[in-house]
């Protein structure tokens, strides 16, 4: 179920609930309207109110079940859409890689072409063609995928055994342009939200300092002491891993300050 279908369905549900509520309220207070007091319409509305009150639990249960079904269908659709998007990304990466080859083999070309072709055909498991009827095929919903296919076909080794760097660069740019155009519209269907804690700066680095709490360090030391009470099956393995860990911790990295000389590594005192 697409987002537009979901919105249309929920609008109908809300409209129906509002109508039922309005009828119930009107029927409840109809005897306070002088022109209708004692009339046949009042009796009908009172009966309707009693019916709605008696059936309220059933109506509520049916409404909840219907809305749950609607959102389950939406959830299934989103899952299929995400799977299709992963296929599109994989196909784009395969195409990009292919355009780097100076002398592509026919086997590599066919594998890349088939991967893209499968992605194009799998779209039919998510969307039908736009304007499709019983007599008309309609229009493929995401034309950039076919643009990517046509661009790839210009590098078919059976027709172009050694495409030049300029030709491959042009095809690569055409594929990327098509992909970015597709991504801009395709992802709209996923109802993506902004992250709560985005990292918006370039060359970002970790804010936290190296180290752990005293409680965690004591727990680490207790684990090491407990293990040291037994003999390892092969002491060489333990010595190797301890040395490698100590060396890594003492090596400065842009994202980590080196451990002080002589500090225990992973609970090892030496």
Q: How is 64-99 classified by DSSP, letter by letter?
A: HHHHHHHHHHHHHHHHHHHHHHHHHHHHHHHHHHHT
Bridge partners of 253? 256
241 lies in the same domain as 173 = no
165 lies in the same domain as 222 = no
Query: Does residue 234 fall inside a structural domain?
Result: yes
127 lies in the same domain as 174 = yes
* CA-closest candidate to residue 92, choices 149, 16, 9: 149
Helix crossing, 165-186 with 144-153: angle to 10°? Answer: 170
* Alpha-carbon span 184 to 181, nearest angstrom: 5
Is the torsion defined by CA of 170, 172, 178, 181 positive or negative?
A: negative
124 lies in the same domain as 222 = no
230 lies in the same domain as 164 = no
Query: Does residue 151 fall inside a structural domain?
Result: yes
102 lies in the same domain as 154 = yes
Q: What is the mean pLDDT of residues 47-73?
A: 82
Q: Indicate if the pLDDT at residue 24 is higher than 50.
A: yes
pLDDT value, residue 260: 58
* Alpha-carbon span 39 to 31, nearest angstrom: 9
Query: Does residue 55 fall inside a structural domain?
Result: no
DSSP code per residue over 96-130: HHHTT-SS--HHHHHHHHHHHHHHHHHGGGT-PPB
Query: Does residue 40 fall inside a structural domain?
Result: no
Q: How many residues does the chain have?
A: 270
Neighbouring CB atoms inside 10 A of 19's CB total 10
Q: Answer yes or no: pTM beyond 0.95.
A: no
127 lies in the same domain as 175 = yes
96 lies in the same domain as 167 = yes
Bridge partners of 265? 268
133 lies in the same domain as 230 = no
* Alpha-carbon span 37 to 33, nearest angstrom: 6
User: Which residues span the domain enclosing 91?
Assistant: 82-190
* Alpha-carbon span 141 to 144, nearest angstrom: 9
Query: Does residue 230 fall inside a structural domain?
Result: yes
Bridge partners of 3? none
Neighbouring CB atoms inside 10 A of 153's CB total 14
Query: Does residue 123 fall inside a structural domain?
Result: yes
Q: Which of 30-44, 83-97, 105-119, 139-153 has the lowest mean pLDDT?
A: 30-44
Query: Does residue 44 fall inside a structural domain?
Result: no
Total number of domains in the chain: 2
Q: Indicate if the pLDDT at residue 41 is higher than 50.
A: yes
Q: pLDDT tens, 178-225? A: 999 999 999 988 878 889 999 899 988 888 887 889 999 999 999 999
171 lies in the same domain as 227 = no
Q: pLDDT tens, 212-225? A: 899 999 999 999 99
* Alpha-carbon span 162 to 155, nearest angstrom: 9
* Alpha-carbon span 1 to 9, nearest angstrom: 10
Query: Does residue 195 fall inside a structural domain?
Result: no
86 lies in the same domain as 184 = yes
Provide the 3-class DSSP secondary structure of residue 180.
Answer: helix
């Amino acid at each position: 179920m697409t987002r537009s279908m979901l919105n249309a369905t929920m609008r109908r549900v809300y409209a129906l609930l509002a109508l039922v509520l309005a009828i119930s309220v009107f029927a409840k207070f109809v005897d306070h309207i002088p022109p209708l007091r004692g009339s046949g319409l009042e009796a009908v509305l009172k009966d309707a109110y009693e019916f709605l009150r008696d059936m309220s639990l059933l109506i509520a249960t049916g409404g909840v079940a219907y809305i749950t079904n609607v959102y389950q269908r939406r959830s299934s659709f989103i899952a299929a859409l995400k799977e299709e998007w992963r296929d599109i990304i994989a196909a784009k990466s395969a195409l990009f890689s292919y355009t780097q080859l100076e002398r592509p083999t026919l086997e590599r070309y066919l594998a890349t072409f088939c991967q893209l072709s499968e992605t194009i055909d799998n779209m039919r498991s998510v969307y039908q063609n736009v304007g499709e009827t019983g007599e008309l095929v309609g229009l493929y919903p995401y034309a950039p995928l076919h643009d990517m296919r046509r661009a790839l076909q210009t590098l078919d080794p059976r027709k172009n055994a050694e495409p030049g760097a300029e030709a491959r660069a042009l095809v690569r740019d055409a594929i990327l342009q098509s992909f970015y155009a597709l991504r801009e519209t395709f992802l709209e269907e996923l109802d993506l939200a902004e992250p709560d804690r985005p990292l918006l700066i370039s060359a970002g680095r970790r804010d936290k300092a190296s180290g752990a709490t005293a409680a965690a360090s004591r727990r680490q030391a207790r684990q090491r002491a407990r293990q040291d009470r037994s003999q390892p099956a092969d002491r060489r393995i333990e010595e190797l891993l301890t040395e490698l860990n100590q060396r890594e911790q003492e090596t400065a990295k842009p994202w980590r300050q080196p451990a002080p000389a002589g500090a225990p590594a992973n609970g090892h005192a030496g």
